[in-house]
């Protein structure tokens, strides 16, 4: 690991030690965030899988009802019955924060007074199979909206998990080792400089003693 291009001074080493402590605290916080994101992401994925299975099964049943209705009704009668919609439905979008990720919250909004009145046709010239198909789709709509919400939430959380993972890896395998190697390098340089300074002082002392007293002290 390459060391940073810094001056090997005690002040710089103190500064790097503080930065290393900050990096380690940030690394721990990001790891905790990543683990919590993963836990909640897994819960969302499980909920998404449950909803998808439920929606697909309901759609298959609804399709079967429409096929049965088309078998006993003419295409013109079927198209005429479904030409206009009696129920007006919208989706209200809000957001909630999960570990710094703003995930959507979809709420169904019915614009009609009676939310149960979903049949856009009279019952005299239609099949009960068509009634079952329309009813099943009406009952399925909240699950469809919830499925869209969970899938978008999973997508956003997966992106945030990937960003957090990259930051954790960068701190763990690049920044923290680089700080540690640089601090070690500065410590070695300072120790080397201290030894050199002591050696020079000893030589100067020997020279002064020899000049003053005509003898020199030997040092181990």
Kindly report, residue by residue over 164-208, the tens digit of the pLDDT. 999 999 999 999 999 999 999 999 888 887 777 777 777 777 677
Query: For residue 219, what pLDDT is reported?
Result: 44
Among 36-50, 58-72, 142-156, 198-212, where is mean pLDDT lowest? 198-212
And the tokens for 116? 């149960």
d(CA 136, CA 34): 40
Q: Mean pLDDT, to the nearest integer, of 37-62?
A: 93
116 has a pLDDT exceeding 60: no
Query: For residue 216, what pLDDT is reported?
Result: 47
CATH of domain 10-179: 1.10.287.3240
Could you state, in order of their start, the residue ranges of all structural domains in the chain? 10-179
% of the chain beyond a pLDDT of 70: 85
pTM of the model: 0.73
220 has a pLDDT exceeding 50: no
DSSP track, 55-108: HHHHHHHHHHHHHHHHHHS-HHHHHHHTSS-S--EEEEEEEEEETTEEEEEEEE
């Amino acid at each position: 690991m390459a060391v940073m291009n810094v001056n090997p001074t005690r002040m710089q080493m103190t500064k790097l030690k503080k930065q290393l402590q900050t990096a380690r605290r940030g690394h721990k916080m990001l790891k905790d965030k990543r683990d919590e994101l993963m836990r909640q992401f897994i819960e969302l994925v499980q909920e998404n899988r449950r909803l998808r299975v439920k929606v697909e099964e309901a759609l298959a049943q609804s399709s079967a009802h429409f096929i049965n209705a088309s078998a006993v009704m003419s295409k013109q009668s079927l198209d005429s019955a479904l030409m206009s919609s009696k129920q007006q439905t919208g989706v209200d979008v809000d957001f909630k924060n999960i570990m710094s990720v703003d995930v959507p919250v979809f709420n169904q909004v019915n614009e009609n007074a009676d939310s149960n009145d979903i049949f856009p046709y009279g019952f005299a010239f239609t099949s009960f199979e068509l009634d079952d198909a329309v009813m099943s789709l009406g009952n399925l709509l909240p699950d469809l909206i919830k499925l869209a919400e969970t899938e978008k939430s999973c997508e956003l959380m997966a992106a945030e998990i990937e960003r957090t993972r990259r930051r954790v890896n960068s701190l763990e395998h690049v920044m923290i080792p680089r700080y540690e190697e640089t601090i070690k390098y500065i410590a070695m340089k300072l120790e080397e400089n201290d030894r050199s300074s002591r050696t020079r002082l000893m030589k100067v002392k020997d020279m002064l003693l020899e000049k003053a007293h005509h003898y020199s002290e030997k040092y181990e």
